[in-house]
Amino acid sequence: MRIAMIGTGYVGLVSGACFSDFGHHVTCVDKDTDKIDALRRGVIPIFEPGLDQLVERNVRGERLSFTTDLAPAVAEADAVFIAVGTPSRRGDGHADLSYVFGATREIAAALTKPTVVVTKSTVPVGTGDEVERIIREIAPEATAWVVSNPEFLREGAAIEDFKRPDRIVVGTDDERAAEVMREIYRPLYLNKAPLLFTSRRTAELIKYAANAFLATKITFINEIADLCEAVGAQVQDVSRGIGLDNRIGSKFLHAGPGYGGSCFPKDTLALLKTAEDHQTPLRIVESVVKVNDLRKRAMGRKVIHALGGEVRGKIVALLGLTFKPNTDDMRDAPSLSIVQALQDAGAHVRGYDPEGIEQARPLMPGVTFCDSPYEAARGADAAVLVTEWDVLRALDLKRLRETMAQPILVDLRSVYPPEDVEQAGLRWHGIGRPPRNA
């Protein structure tokens, strides 16, 4: 089939590349001329493991192409996917749908044959209705079916998630549109990936409900971690003990410095705004958002406490800056709040990350960026493990100790057993278990 993917951000580029790998002919469209030129040269604008090879292979196979010219791509397509950004709207937290509606207007003007128009972007309930209304207004004679097909991709594992999904949600009440979507996803049938067909509004809500629930699990275990520190329990054992219950499951029960990234923060806010608009408050989600914001700020205070309550003039090395490993995404990363808290208290901050430094640089003024964790820790009064990159899971702790001015390791991801840290001559501070000197 012929597919037009509108938007070459994270979702659009990964989805377009994977669809082309299924054998479909995909044209990715973006207004950013520099980005399109770079993609044509094989330069990938985001870090996602395996994406560069996937794009190169399908461009070489003439199944994947990039353009700034939307009209011909849409005119030839059997399905047009809208995969543009829906960031939180400045001032009120609602999802900003201006890019979605702008793309819809251009698509409507370019339709020349029966086409399925698919919202892949994460959009609030009822967005598909407005997309359909815009198309009817601009192109009343066109035959177009508007479908919701939310994405469930984890940054750092997006290709695997796309090709071996837990489920594929398709929101449509039209059998002709449903048949096109079945054909698009037919290559996944061998993996027995379930296609869940629902109404369009239901599909839109599934995405937000899923992200809010996962954010709730993260926030829950983070609060339990605080309780563990207070009562002398160990949160990793608590997580394992409750996660072995198959009604609960073990995923998203790893205590840490709070969630960030491109999805959970904006999607929980957008869901709250939708609920508010319909006079159905979501008290649990409200608490999750508030607790997570407080959590990230509290991590800075934890580092200050590990240094005796005073950090003015001291050097703190942050190891890992992105919100999670295997991505260069800095959006709402906990490290941003930690840096702010440390700088406000007068500390000098150094930062290291395998992939995220260029994204972090404009967001962290005053931070000294380093090429290795050991360079960041040289002469530092404390090293803080913020993101559990593989390269940071196997540090030479003795070497780290030898480079530091004070032997303090604050492990916010519970990567290292306290006994191993202390054997290397470092003082351990972490989360989810009582202080070692208690």
Helix axes 264-277, 200-231, angle to 10 degrees: 120
For the chain, the first-to-last Cα distance in angstroms comes to 64
| Number of other residues whose CB lies within 10 A of the CB of residue 69 | 11
263 assigned to active site: yes
Greatest CA span in the chain, whole angstroms?
75
| Selection from 375, 279, 246 nearest residue 318 by Cα | 375
Q: Catalytic one among 18, 28, 228, 263? A: 263
Closest listed residue to residue 318, CA positions, set 369, 390, 362, 277 = 369
Distance CA 411, CA 431 (A): 7
Cα 190 from Cα 348, distance rounded (Å): 54
d(CA 282, CA 358): 37
Indicate the helix (H) or strand (E) that contains 268: helix 264-277
DSSP secondary structure, 110-159, as one string: H--S-EEEEE-S---TTHHHHHHHHHHHH-TT--EEEEE----PPTTSHH
Across 221-250, b (16+ Cβ under 10 Å) vs e yields bbebbeebbeeebebbebbeebbeeeeeee
Which of the residues are catalytic? 263
